[in-house]
Amino acid sequence: MPELPEVETTKNELLPHILNRHITGVTLFWSQIVRRPSVEEFCSHLIGQRITGIGRRGKYLIFNLSSGEVLIIHLRMTGSLLLKPASAEPDKFIRAILHLDGESDIRFRDPRKLGAMWVVEDKSEVVGKLGPEPLEAVFTPQILKKRLQNRTAPIKAVLLDQSFIAGIGNMYADEALFAARIHPLRPGGSLSPDEVKRLYRAIQQVLWSGIGNRGASTDTYFRPDGNKGAAHFQFQVAHRLSGNCCPVCGTAIERIPIRNRGTYFCPQCQALT
């Protein structure tokens, strides 16, 4: 599932190819991918617009348009945005094409049909409730400590809550908790000041490493050029099969469900004490 590093990579690698290009048409193979406004309005608002920039907020891509409106895209579980020659035949998992002037177009590939797109005037309509960006200056150890106070939910569930912190999903939450040596079931508010600092550093480290390796292609994530990312080769516990050994101590990695998400951890390095 694309998380902050995968979405950031998509943004970075799309940007030089699409900046200042015009949207000349929209093809929808699965119209429910459009969440707002109506499908007709979505297409008519996009056609003729120039793409003036791309940003990211949490796991959302935000395309700035010359009208001042924004196109917001969420890749959800299985989405990728691909840059393809306009003449290329779309594969069966392409749900939408944004046709651009020039020789390539943007294709939204989404095997499980969970992705979503919006065109809105004010991006806060879609991304307004997200928590702080973990790689920006607004996110500090002090802020993390303050936001964790009185949280009784397991720290793993807290990290997945997009209103608590934006952009972290199942893979990077498991990696951050392993790097910080914190058991995923510890109540968020029970972390000591030292553990909060370790978790803060671990979040930054695993996300920057993910971006540096251009995202993790454990499943269906592709970069815009169709290549895979390499971040999953650096994973210590995430997506390990039960029975695989901890790279630090050799203990068998365990997998438990937390809020219905498979959670991988080392019971020795991340002891519940």
> For the chain, what is the total number of helices (H) and then of strands (E)?
7, 11
**Which of 67, 268 has the CB closer to Zn ion?**
268
Q: Minimum distance between the CB of residue 252 and Zn ion, rounded to whole angstroms? A: 9
Q: Which of residues 239-258 bind Zn ion (CB under 5 A)?
A: 246, 248-249, 251
11, 56, 57, 59: the active-site residue = 59
What length does the chain have? 273
Q: Does 269 bind Zn ion (CB under 5 A)?
A: yes
Rounded to whole angstroms, the Cα distance separating 214 from 207 reads: 10
Rounded to whole angstroms, the Cα distance separating 127 from 58 reads: 8
Q: Minimum distance between the CB of residue 170 and Zn ion, rounded to whole angstroms? A: 19
Structure tokens that stand for 41 in this block: 């309005």
Instruction: Respond yes or no: is residue 3 known to be catalytic.
Output: yes
The window from 66-74, 94-102, 183-191, 264-272 that contacts Zn ion (CB under 5 A) reads: 264-272
Buried/exposed code over 7-17 (b: 16+ C-beta within 10 A; e: otherwise): bbbbbebbeee
Instruction: Respond yes or no: is residue 59 known to be catalytic.
Output: yes
- Find the DSSP H helices in 19-117: 39-46
**Which of 24, 234 has the CB closer to Zn ion?**
234
Binding residues for Zn ion, how many (CB under 5 A)? 7
Q: Does 266 bind Zn ion (CB under 5 A)?
A: yes
50, 76, 197, 261: the active-site residue = 261
Q: Which whole-number Å values give the CA distances from 249 to 172, 201, 232, 256, in the listed order?
A: 20, 21, 20, 19
The window from 74-82, 132-140, 143-151, 260-268 that contacts Zn ion (CB under 5 A) reads: 260-268
Question: What positions carry a catalytic annotation?
Answer: 2-3, 59, 261
Residues that bind Zn ion (CB under 5 A): 246, 248-249, 251, 266, 268-269
